[in-house]
Amino acid sequence: MILNDFSRADGDADPDAGAWRLISDRVMGGVSDGRAIVETVAGRRALRLTGRVSLENDGGFVQMARDLAPDGEPVDLSGFAGLELDVIGNGEAYGVHLRTRDVARPWQSYRAGFVAPPGWTRLRLPFADFRPHRIETPLDLSGARRIGLVAIGRAFQADLALARLSLYR
């Protein structure tokens, strides 16, 4: 099931592209900055996250995130094995953060990591590899709410593009 396809074959923009938002540590007093825009990257239309991750002022992240449902309500992903991403980047490590109805605090999530290679690559991230972060509750995929692709945890220049995001069984 495709969640976003920024490089649709018909050449039209993905109608859900506007659902993605840039979030940075500035919401908590940090100084990281970035942007997330749809543009052509290495021949494919993609949502591209660029920016500077800074650890100053207890910061350390920039992310592009979207609610899974337009109204923010939970979505049942329990019938799927994981996420599939078509990505390109600068060879740095990034994270995918899932938020569910069990996540109450901004710093809580379920996380999996990946490296964004310098050429377009399709990655599979099994839900079994997502680990709870600052939350004790096991991942309940029946209540998934939000997904974010995140540059986090160390000072570096982020450059990550996502052409396609889907679920696989």
Q: How far apart are CA 63 and CA 67, in angstroms?
A: 13
Are 164 and 86 spatial neighbours (Cβ–Cβ below 8 Å)? yes
pTM of model > 0.85: yes
- Full domain range(s) for residue 47: 2-168
Domain total of the chain? 1
Q: How far apart are CA 84 and CA 123, in angstroms?
A: 6
CATH number where 29 lies: 2.60.120.430
Residue with tokens 């109608």: 15
Q: What is the pLDDT along the chain (169 residues), one digit of tens a residue?
A: 899 999 775 556 666 678 999 999 998 889 999 999 999 999 999 999 999 999 999 889 999 999 999 999 999 999 999 999 999 999 999 999 999 999 999 999 999 999 999 999 999 999 999 999 999 999 999 999 999 999 999 999 999 999 999 999 9
Are 163 and 17 spatial neighbours (Cβ–Cβ below 8 Å)? no
